[in-house]
Structure 1
């Protein structure tokens, strides 16, 4: 099957998952009753007439799709989404491409955002700040940073990418893949300063890349110690800090 259309008012479909269909070249979805959608490819993807869609999960595995292109494809429902899970397995994202996140559309009803991505080098995590700005009602933000063990650069990150506007709804920030370098610290510093009602920070140093279990354990333990030594003193008492 190379083309698939899931369309029509007679359908009472609420949940749709299309995963790892590598031969699919064209996908059209138009289902008024649909509430949740999960896909692993945006190749030939078309979405329309989904007034009930509030939960979207996209795990990109077959192209270089970036967040700005993804949100363009979701333009028909972006203003109504409540939960968005985006996984980008692309280590070659350029700084210029990350800068395009400044043009993201508003997601006024989004409550939970999960972003998983993989980049090499020293690209600033603070560049993700526009995603927070575009989600004024965001309550929970989960970032899973899949970084490569080698090379691992630890350069001082510039904060001119940060949008210095208080966010008044974000209560929970979970950082998976925390390493403890200046890049991580820059993003956490931004969260602490501008997410003014933050109640909880979860630090998870879990590291999934690599073949040496002992080496991975050492990396994770070093990250935990760094969080306790450097991050904990910066967190106000009103915020619960959980280090896994």
Structure 2
């Protein structure tokens, strides 16, 4: 069951307006557009579908659910393990720095939102950098958001930010962007169902295209987004 309170918390947590800096990253999309690999709503959708099936966001979603469950059970050692695993899974420094920057920003926000006596969840990771998926899972655990619902919100938030970057870069009209997001609903639901069933030793991804775009973005001549 999703209570009104947990639903409202999820809407705030998954909002593109959440001040964690997600809007400033294109996750390699800027380079992909410059190279002509993504140049339309159709090619953007194909890329998003592949990412949901076997890309980095698939792994992030799986880590988020595991961090949520571990935090809910008070197993902070396991939360730290998944945070380390998530950092090690990043194939480029740029992607790792993005995850850390957004995760640390979310933890600071939670410190401001939660009562002083309930901040143990935020400080459990100590001084180490926190990946965004792990911070999202900690927040979802505190607000008692069910894993399936939290995961759907997490993936939807990622898709919103990615499509938002595509609207600016390709460019696409706002209506085309919303149509794309609407048409991706079945893919998001399928991704949730797959991620919830995957075992720890089955976690893998195929992200060489994203990795190459991420590395090349740093030296791109003209950029709108942060590397």
TM range (shorter): under 0.3
Query: TM-score when scaled to structure 1?
Result: 0.22
Greater fraction of residues in helix = 2
